[in-house]
Amino acid sequence: MIPIPTKMALTSGGAEGSSKLNAFDHALLAAGIGNINLIKVSSIVPPDIELIELPFIPGGSLTPMAYATITSDVPGEMIASAVAAGFHKPDHYGVIMEYSGKCAAKEASERVIAMVEEAFTTRGIALDDIKITSTQHTVVKIGSVIAAAVLLY
């Protein structure tokens, strides 16, 4: 049986690099998740999840998360990522939505909020609260951003 995460931390970051992969790596480091192995998961918040600040996670850990990222090598381009987590009530599951694009953090945030609202409407459950993280970066040479909902045990 695979354990169900009991904690969740929202984080985001952006950075430049000498290559697209290095820019992505630097964005991961800026978000505090650069030394772990990301396991991309779909977007359901487990019941009874505790929202926490991102803790220290040992290097090399296999860590599930829902995330959005974008990398660009177009100087002057604005890029952004956002993640929103919607909650019904403490003992009920919730939904995470992710977005990244060529826009400002405000637009990325608005998009993920609308996506969470639609997900709750589709499921026929009331949306009681939304938590969000977002970031934006104006590309100098090669830039990358990431926003993530990190699921922890």
- Single out the catalytic residue among 12, 43, 100, 109: 43
What is the number of structural domains in the chain?
1
- Single out the catalytic residue among 37, 50, 61, 118: 37
Active site residue 61: no
Active site residue 16: no
How do residues 42-73 score in pLDDT, each as one tens digit? Answer: 999 999 999 999 999 999 999 999 999 999 99
How do residues 124-151 score in pLDDT, each as one tens digit? Answer: 999 999 999 999 999 999 999 999 999 9
Give the separation between CA 78 and CA 62, rounded to whole angstroms. 31
| Order of strands across the sheet that contains 7-16 | 37-40, 62-72, 143-152, 7-16, 50-51
Does 99 map to a domain?
Answer: yes
Active site residue 98: yes
**Is residue 1 pLDDT above 90, yes or no?**
no
- Single out the catalytic residue among 12, 81, 98, 144: 98
Q: CATH code at 81? A: 3.50.20.10
Q: Containing domain of residue 46, as a range?
A: 7-53+62-147
Does 152 map to a domain?
Answer: no
Does 25 map to a domain?
Answer: yes
Active site residue 42: yes
Give the separation between CA 104 and CA 148, rounded to whole angstroms. 17
Does 74 map to a domain?
Answer: yes
Does 2 map to a domain?
Answer: no
